[in-house]
Structure 1
Amino acid sequence: MAQAMKIAIVDDEQDMRQSISQWLALSGYDTETFSSAEDALKVLGPEYPGIVISDIKMPGMDGIQLLKKLMGADSTLPVIMITGHGDVPMAVEAMRVGAFDFLEKPFNPDRMSELAKRASNARRLTLDNRALRRELSGGTQIMNKLIGASPVMERLREDILDLGQADGHVLIDGETGTGKTLVAHALHAVGSRAGKKFVLVSCAALEEEALSKRLFGPMMPEDAQLPAIEEARGGTLVLEDVEALSDTLQARLLSVMNDQGTPAETRIVAISNLQEAGKTSEDVLRPDLFYRLAALRITMPPLRQRGEDILTLFTRLSEQFAEEYGCEAPQVSAQEAAQLLQAPWPGNVRQLINIAERAVLQSRRGSGTIASLLMSDHEEMQPVMTTEGKPLKEYVEAFERMLIDNTMRRHKGSIASVMEELCLPRRTLNEKMAKYGLQRSDYL
Structure 2
Amino acid sequence: MAQAMKIAIVDDEQDMRQSISQWLALSGFDTETFPSAEDALKSLGADYPGVVVSDIRMPGMDGMQFLKKLMSVDSALPVIMITGHGDVPMAVEAMRVGAYDFLEKPFNPDKMTELAKKATQARRMTLDARALRRELGDGSTMMKKLIGSSPVMDRLREDILDLGQADGHVLIDGETGTGKTLVAHALHAVGAKAGRKFVVVPCAGQEEDDLGRRLFGPMEEGGTQPLVEDARGGTLVLEDIEALPDKLQAKLLSWINDQGTPAETRVVAVCNLQEQGKTCEDSMRPDLYYRLAAMKITLPPLRQRGEDILMLFTRFADQFAEEYGCPAPGVTAQEAAQLLQAPWPGNIRQLTNIAERAVLQNRRGTGTISSLLMNDHDEVQPVMTTEGKPLKEYVEAFERMLIDNTMRRHKGSIVGVMEELCLPRRTLNEKMAKYGLQRSDYL
Same topology, TM > 0.5 = yes
Tell me: CA distance 1:127–1:320, structure 2 relative to 1, closer, same or farther (3 Å).
closer
CA positional deviation for 1:245: 1.2
2:336 matched to 1:329? Answer: no
**For 1:222-279, what per-residue CA distance to the aligned partner results, in whole angstroms no more than 9, with x for missing partners?**
53x2211111111111100101112111110000000000111111100000111111
**Where does the alignment leave 5 or more consecutive residues of structure 2 unmatched?**
4-38, 48-67, 76-130
CA positional deviation for 1:133: 2.5
Tell me: CA distance 1:403–1:184, structure 2 relative to 1, closer, same or farther (3 Å).
same
SS at match of 2:375: helix
In structure 2, distance between residues paired with 1:128 and 1:206: 29
Who is 2:45 aligned against? Answer: 28
Alignment of 1:227-246 (within 5 A): 227-246=226-245
Give the aligned residue type for 2:362: S
In structure 2, distance between residues paired with 1:116 and 1:363: 46
2:340 matched to 1:341? Answer: yes
CA contact (8 A) 2:269 2:292 kept: yes
CA contact (8 A) 1:167 1:263 kept: yes
CA positional deviation for 1:367: 0.7
CA positional deviation for 1:157: 1.1
Larger deviation, residues 426-435 vs 337-346: 426-435
2:439 matched to 1:435? Answer: no
CA contact (8 A) 2:343 2:382 kept: no
Who is 2:404 aligned against? Answer: 405
Tell me: CA distance 1:208–1:116, structure 2 relative to 1, closer, same or farther (3 Å).
closer
Taking only aligned residues, the RMSD between alpha carbons, in angstroms, comes to 3.1
Q: Percent sequence identity over matched residues?
A: 75
Tell me: CA distance 1:220–1:125, structure 2 relative to 1, closer, same or farther (3 Å).
closer
SS at match of 1:177: coil
In structure 2, distance between residues paired with 1:263 and 1:353: 39
1:133 aligned to which of 107, 129, 140: 140
In structure 1, distance between residues paired with 2:431 and 2:253: 54
Who is 2:360 aligned against? Answer: 361
Larger deviation, residues 397-406 vs 365-374: 365-374
Alignment of 1:57-206 (within 5 A): 132-133=139-140, 136=143, 141=144, 145-206=145-206
In structure 2, distance between residues paired with 1:435 and 1:258: 50
In structure 2, distance between residues paired with 1:214 and 1:415: 57
In structure 1, distance between residues paired with 2:256 and 2:381: 49
CA positional deviation for 1:379: 10
Who is 2:216 aligned against? Answer: 216
In structure 2, distance between residues paired with 1:262 and 1:344: 42
In structure 1, distance between residues paired with 2:360 and 2:136: 36
Tell me: CA distance 1:116–1:204, structure 2 relative to 1, closer, same or farther (3 Å).
closer
Tell me: CA distance 1:383–1:168, structure 2 relative to 1, closer, same or farther (3 Å).
closer
CA contact (8 A) 2:169 2:295 kept: yes
In structure 2, distance between residues paired with 1:416 and 1:28: 44
**For 1:269-313, what per-residue CA distance to the aligned partner results, in whole angstroms no more than 9, with x for missing partners?**
000001111111111111110111011111001000000000000
CA contact (8 A) 1:173 1:272 kept: yes
In structure 2, distance between residues paired with 1:229 and 1:438: 45
Give the aligned residue type for 2:234: G
**For 1:177-204, what per-residue CA distance to the aligned partner results, in whole angstroms no more than 9, with x for missing partners?**
0000111111111212122111111111
CA positional deviation for 1:127: 8.5
In structure 2, distance between residues paired with 1:187 and 1:338: 34
CA positional deviation for 1:430: 1.1
CA contact (8 A) 1:125 1:194 kept: no
Give the aligned residue type for 2:393: E
CA contact (8 A) 2:136 2:142 kept: no
Who is 2:391 aligned against? Answer: 392
Who is 1:252 aligned against? Answer: 251
Who is 1:10 aligned against? Answer: none
CA positional deviation for 1:132: 3.1
Tell me: CA distance 1:195–1:131, structure 2 relative to 1, closer, same or farther (3 Å).
closer
CA contact (8 A) 1:355 1:373 kept: yes
Who is 2:283 aligned against? Answer: 284
**Where does the alignment leave 5 or more consecutive residues of structure 1 unmatched?**
2-21, 31-109, 118-123
**For 1:70-105, what per-residue CA distance to the aligned partner results, in whole angstroms no more than 9, with x for missing partners?**
xxxxxxxxxxxxxxxxxxxxxxxxxxxxxxxxxxxx
Who is 1:312 aligned against? Answer: 311
In structure 1, distance between residues paired with 2:45 and 2:227: 34
In structure 2, distance between residues paired with 1:134 and 1:202: 24
Tell me: CA distance 1:209–1:167, structure 2 relative to 1, closer, same or farther (3 Å).
same
Who is 1:207 aligned against? Answer: 207
Tell me: CA distance 1:378–1:344, structure 2 relative to 1, closer, same or farther (3 Å).
farther
**For 1:351-399, what per-residue CA distance to the aligned partner results, in whole angstroms no more than 9, with x for missing partners?**
0010000000011111111111111126998983111111111111100
Give the aligned residue type for 1:28: G
